[in-house]
Amino acid sequence: MSVVVPPTPAAPLPARSEARTARSERLRLLLRSPTVVIGVIVMGFWLFCAIFTDLVTPHDPIFDNQFTPSESPTWSHPFGTDTNGRDIFSRVLAGSRNVLLIAPAATLLGTVLGTMLGLVTGYLRGVVDDVVSRLVDAVLSLPLIVTAILIVTAVGKSGTWVVVLIIGLIFTPVVSRTVRAAVLSETELDYVQAARLRGERAPYIMFSEILPNVLSPVVVEFTVRLGYAIFAVASLTFIGFGVAPPSPDWAAQINQYWTLIDPYWWMTLFPALAIASLVVAVNLVADGVREVYER
């Protein structure tokens, strides 16, 4: 027997749709945080550049030898030009495309698969859970980059969808672990017991009873993973296991020019700052989301 102390508020809340209220309340809280607003603006900027590349780039980002090669920043080329005579400013503006395609796709894949896996293992427990948990442990004992290098080498090729698949699959156990923990604490609750006692089947309990209650950690996990996916995609590209140049990509540009950092620092600095701005923006938003959802 455990004796529960009376909970505090006794008065009923006003009759509004609770879901809507909670959602708008969260949005209000999110937008009240200056760091979240800045993050959203920066993310929006890069998304805009990725979609409307042709509109925002002053020069063609791909064709070689348009200008004097290796020119340091000037008014006409604020970020300078690269060794192939291209405008770095245009290439930086065009460089968000890859990462903004791969990272969200990989995160979505990892989140969806991870949520399913977490629901199943957390609800069914038993042997399935034990086996999967040990597998998850094993996969997580390797850093993402190392696993990705091994897989790319074994498969023998890389590319957009290979990277999406690799990162998505590596995220799956991470997400599943978070979701599983949330599911475990949900299954302790009596409503799950009540559902079982009226003869509900496992799929109904998992997806209709439990899933709606673990969406908060899923949302948090998605935003946090998104930041990490950008991190991973950029790192893989930088060491040459991601997407190959000449398609403009920040990390690929750095991969190409960082050995020339002395004296051609601008070829590396500006793409680096661009990556920094995007990952920081995503993580500021993720942190805001976490604060609001985990209260």
Partner 1 sequence: MTRFLLKRLGLALITLFLLSVIVFAVSTVLPGNVGRAVLGPFATQESVDALNEQLGTNRSVFVQYVEWAGGLLHGDLGTSLTKQLPARDLLGPALSNSFKLAFVAFLICVPLSIVGGVISGLRYGRPTDKAITIAGISFAAMPEFVTGILLILVFSIWLGWLPVTAQWEEGANVLTQVKYLLLPAMTLTLVLFGYIARITRAGMIEALDSDYARTAYLKGLPSSVVVRRHLLRNALLPTIAVVAVQIGYLVGGLVVVEVLFNYQGIGLLIYEAARQKDLPLLTAGVLVVGITYLVVTLIADILYALLNPRIRFGTAE
Partner 2 sequence: MSAAGVEAALEVSDLGVVYRVRGVDRPVLRGVSLSIERGHSYGLVGESGCGKSTAALAIVRYLPRNGRVAAGSVSVAGRNVLGLGGRGLRDYHARTASMVYQNPGAALNPGLRVGTQVAEAFTVLGVARTEAGDRARAALARVQIADPGSVMGRYPHQLSGGMQQRVVIAMALAKDPALLILDEPTTGLDATVEAEVLEIVSQLQAELSTAVLFISHNLGVISKMCDRVGVLYAGRLVEEGPVETVLQDPRHPYTVGLLRCIPRGGVRKDHGRLDTIPGFLPQLGADLPGCVFADRCTLADERCHAEEPPLERLGASHSTRCWYHERAHELPRQEAADIDLPVVDRSLAPVIEAQDLGKVFRQRGQDVHALVGVTGAIWPGETLGLVGESGSGKTTLARAVLGLVEPTTGSVVLDGKELAPRFTSRPRQALRDLQVVFQNPDSALNRRHSVRRILTRAMRKLAGVTGGEADRRVDALAEQVRLTERTLTQKPVQLSGGLKQRVAIARAFAGNPKLVICDEPTSALDVSVQAAILNLLVELQAEKRVSYLFISHDLGVVRYISDRIAVLYLGRLQEVGPADVVFNGPHHPYTEALLSAVPTIDGGGRDRIKLEGEIPSAADPPSGCVFHTRCPRFLGPVCVEVEPPLVEVERDHAMRCHIPLEELRRLQAAPRDEALA
Write out the residues near partner 1 by the rule CB under 8 A: 35, 134-135, 137-139, 141-147, 149-156, 227, 231, 234-235, 238-241, 251, 254, 258, 261-262, 265, 268-269, 272, 275-276, 279-280, 282-284, 287
Site residue total, partner 2 (CB under 8 A): 31
Interaction of residue 55 with partner 2, rule CB under 8 A? no
Interaction of residue 295 with partner 2, rule CB under 8 A? no
State the nearest-atom distance from the C-beta of 154 to partner 1, in Å.
4
User: What's the count of helices (H) and strands (E) in the chain, helices before strands?
Assistant: 13, 0
Span from 1-9, 42-50, 223-231, 232-240 in contact with partner 2 (CB under 8 A): 1-9
C-alpha–C-alpha distance, residues 160 and 106, integer Å: 10
Q: Which is nearer to partner 1, 4 or 13 (CB)?
A: 4
Q: Which is nearer to partner 1, 119 or 269 (CB)?
A: 269
Q: Cβ(213)–Cβ(187) under 8 Å?
A: no
Nearest-5° Cα angle at 163, 278 to 242: 70
Work out which of 128, 135, 138, 189 binds partner 2, going by CB under 8 A.
189
Q: Which is nearer to partner 2, 9 or 263 (CB)?
A: 9
Residues 6+ apart with CB under 8 A from 107: 167, 168, 171, 222, 225, 226, 229
Report the partner that residue 55 touches, choosing among partner 2, partner 1, none (CB closer than 5 to 8 A by kind). Answer: none
State the nearest-atom distance from the C-beta of 20 to partner 1, in Å.
28
C-alpha–C-alpha distance, residues 125 and 121, integer Å: 5
Nearest CA-CA partner of 125 in 195, 218, 205, 222: 205
Q: Cβ(167)–Cβ(233) under 8 Å?
A: yes
Residues 6+ apart with CB under 8 A from 290: 220, 223, 224
Residues 6+ apart with CB under 8 A from 145: 232, 235, 236, 239
**Where in 192-211 is the site for partner 2 (CB under 8 A)?**
193-200, 209
- Angle, helices 97-124 vs 160-187, to 10°: value is 30
Q: Is 81 helix (H, G, I), strand (E, B) or coil?
A: strand
State the nearest-atom distance from the C-beta of 234 to partner 1, in Å.
5
State the nearest-atom distance from the C-beta of 280 to partner 1, in Å.
5
State the nearest-atom distance from the C-beta of 253 to partner 1, in Å.
11
State the nearest-atom distance from the C-beta of 137 to partner 1, in Å.
4
Interaction of residue 7 with partner 2, rule CB under 8 A? yes
